[in-house]
Each structure stands twice: as C-alpha cells, then as structure tokens.
Amino acid sequence: MADPTDKDFLRLVYGRAGAPAPHRAAAPAPARRRAPRRRRKGVWPLVWIALLALAYAVHYLGLPAQVADALNGAPASFDIAGRARVSDGDTIRIGETRIRLDGIDAPESDQSCTTRTPPIVTFACGSSAAGKLRALADGAVVRCVAHGTDTYGRTLATCYAGESDLGRAMVRAGWALAYRRYSARYGLEEAAARLEGLGLWATDFDTPEDWRRREGG
C-alpha cells in the first residue's frame, strides 16, 4: 500500500504544487440575443392611396357611368328621334329641337387649332369637329334621351346613332372634350384619345370654354 506521505503519491493526487487542483466551473453559455422584432408597416397609407385613386376615377373618369353604359348599352326608350342636322361639334337639330350633346364640349365653329408636327398648319378645328359628328350621324336615325335644357334653351341630351353614343364617339375620336364641369361620363375616352394623340390632342388648342371666354362667345 502506498504511503500517503510519499511525495510522489501526493503529486499524483494533488498535482505538482502539492495543493488540491482548483475546481473550474464551466463557463456560462453566452446569452442568446433576441432578433429585433420587425415592426409591421401600417396599412393606412395604402388605404388612403386606394381611396384617392377611387375618388379620382369617380370624379375625373366617370367610372360609375362608364360601367352602367357598358352593362346597359343604349336605353330602351327615347324622348326624341329622327334625322339629325349637325350645327357644330356638339350640337344637332332634330326637327325643330336644338340639342346640345350632354357631357362633351367641342371646338366652336370659328375656332382654330395648330398642328404640333411639321408641316405646322393652323386650321379650322371647329369645322373638323362638326365634320366628324356629321360622319357619325350620317344616314342614321338619331335617338336621344333628354336631361334638361341649357342656358341657351337647347335640350341637353345623350344621343345615339344605332348603339353608338355620339358624345362618347366624339370624345374617343379626340374631336371633343369631356365636359367635366357638368359630367365626368366620358373621362376614360378623353384619357385614351389624349394618350393616342387623336384629333385635338395632335394639336395646340384652347379648350372650347377658354376660347369662348376669350372671344366673348
């Protein structure tokens, strides 16, 4: 049996220093850092953008009227019907009734416009607008739904040649503007004509309303 006082025995048990080896505690595991919580972006900005887009569509593009027209087409009954004589780009006469196409504003008979691309030409765009309306109504029985009268005593109406809304066709061809002061019904047609550079949108022109104000019409 080994002598407990033997130095070699003591070194073996207690280490070189002759003292018990200190107990080393295990190093604590590093604390795990929590990943920062991502803050959800509020949905309210998106809601406001959607509401503004809807308001624009309703006010400037007349979407409710556009949808209603697409679903219904020409109405089943009319207040006025007959062969139409064209006075200008937004006025016709059926029999003795003078009719102002509701929701559009076309250049006046004496109004001029200037082309944007060479050759630069100033031309009677009021006459061109009247010619376009004449072509749309030519040979057709024009049927109109009356909405009231304007300050000049003309009947305000939406008029159709067959299934074609004459006001819509004029705005889509670029020879009349959507008359947003009174109606946004033809806003989409105006936007499309403007994008494609049709009719008046291929020229430099005053709006008919500005032209009348300047010329006293």
pTM for this prediction: 0.70
Average pLDDT, integer, range 101-118: 96
Residue 111 near residue 214, CB atoms below 8 Å? no
Which residue ranges form the domains of the chain, and what is each CATH number?
Answer: 57-215 (2.40.50.90)
**CA–CA gap between residue 154 and residue 146 (Å, rounded):** 10
Work out the burial of residue 35: count CB atoms within 10 Å of its CB; fewer than 13 is exposed, 13-18 middle, 19 or more buried.
Answer: exposed
Inter-CA distances, 199 with 37, 169, 217, Å? 57, 12, 23
Q: Tens digits of per-residue pLDDT, 165-213?
A: 999 999 999 999 999 888 888 999 999 999 999 999 999 999 999 999 9
In this prediction, residue 75 carries a pLDDT of 78
**Would you state the structure tokens that stand for residue 130, as one six-digit string?**
């009247």
Identify which of 66, 74, 98 has the alpha carbon closest to the alpha carbon of residue 171.
Answer: 66
pLDDT band per the 50, 70, 90 thresholds, residue 76:
confident
How many C-beta atoms lie closer than 10 Å to residue 142's C-beta? 23
* Residue in this structure with the two tokens 């076309």, named with its chain if needed: 106
Q: Is the pLDDT of residue 110 over 60?
A: yes
In this prediction, residue 1 carries a pLDDT of 53
Average pLDDT, integer, range 68-82: 75
